[in-house]
Amino acid sequence: MAERVFQALLRSEVERLSDRANDADLRRFLGHFFDPLITVEERNSYVENFQKQPPTVTLGYPRTSTRLPCLAIILEQDSEAEKPLGSYLGQTTPNESRDRAEEYIGSMYEQTYGIFVYAEHPDVCIYLYHFAKAVMLGSHVTLHECGIIDPRYNGNEMQPNEMYLPENMFVRRLGVTFRSLASAPLLLTPDPARARIAGVHRSDTVVSGVVGGVRSK
């Protein structure tokens, strides 16, 4: 459940850096990206805005009740990348309880998540995009320990769609593509004999409220 990991990382950093007690950390964090390109006054405005209106972190597309600005974590792709021979991934060690499954099956999957930045001001959208990217880059060790293998990033500006977004909404997407191992204990594998279809059962049919008179024999 990589989305939960992303949510925890983003939420923890938003809560920590929006706390005015950590003002120096927030200025250093944003200054690393923006100080060579913008004035001190503009960077200070980012700091003040972040503390006053920290982004909301949600799973899935934001709803009308979602408070903006928002970082929305959305699954875009989940596909099988590599399948081991016979889907066999290994077994429990001798010192583990025999109540557990002895063998495990599964595959390596490649997943892509989009972290969508929604804001009502273009500058807010820009700095929050870089904020999210910095959090992900800085969390490389944590991601690896959570089974998120070889994360790769890409980003783009989203074209506004007046059917779904108000005119003053700005959106950027940070894409995270990675590999992860999905497994299941062999005890969950059903017996093929018990899953076999033995026949078709028909009791009757009803069409537009009229009983068809079909009976099984």
User: CA-CA distances (angstroms) from residue 214 to 47, 53, 88, 206?
Assistant: 73, 65, 47, 9
Distance, in Å, from the CA atom of 143 to the CA atom of 151, rounded to the nearest integer, reads: 8
Matching residue, tokens 């990675």: 178
Ranges 53-57, 166-170, 185-189, 203-207, most confident = 53-57
- Its pTM surpasses 0.85: no
Q: Which of 66-80, 136-150, 173-187 has the lowest mean pLDDT?
A: 173-187
- Residue 192 reports pLDDT greater than 60: yes
Matching residue, tokens 């004035």: 39
Q: What is the pLDDT of residues 86-131, one digit of tens each?
A: 566 566 665 666 555 567 777 888 999 999 999 999 999 999 999 9
What domains can be seen in the chain, in order of their start residue? 2-187 (3.30.70.1700)
67 CB-near residues (< 8 Å, 6+ apart):
56
Q: Take residue 140 and report the two structure tokens written for it.
A: 């490389």
The pLDDT value recorded for residue 55 is 95
Dihedral angle over CA of 33, 134, 120, 122, nearest 10: 30
Which residue type does 51 have? Answer: Q
Q: What is the pLDDT of residues 26-43, one digit of tens each?
A: 888 888 878 888 888 888
Q: Take residue 155 and report the two structure tokens written for it.
A: 């980003």
- Residue 151 reports pLDDT greater than 80: yes
Calculate what percentage of the chain has a pLDDT beyond 90.
45
User: CA-CA distances (angstroms) from residue 142 to 20, 98, 138?
Assistant: 26, 31, 9
Question: Which of 173, 43, 181, 62 lies closest to 117, judged by CA?
Answer: 173
Q: What is the pLDDT of residues 111-120, one digit of tens each?
A: 999 999 999 9
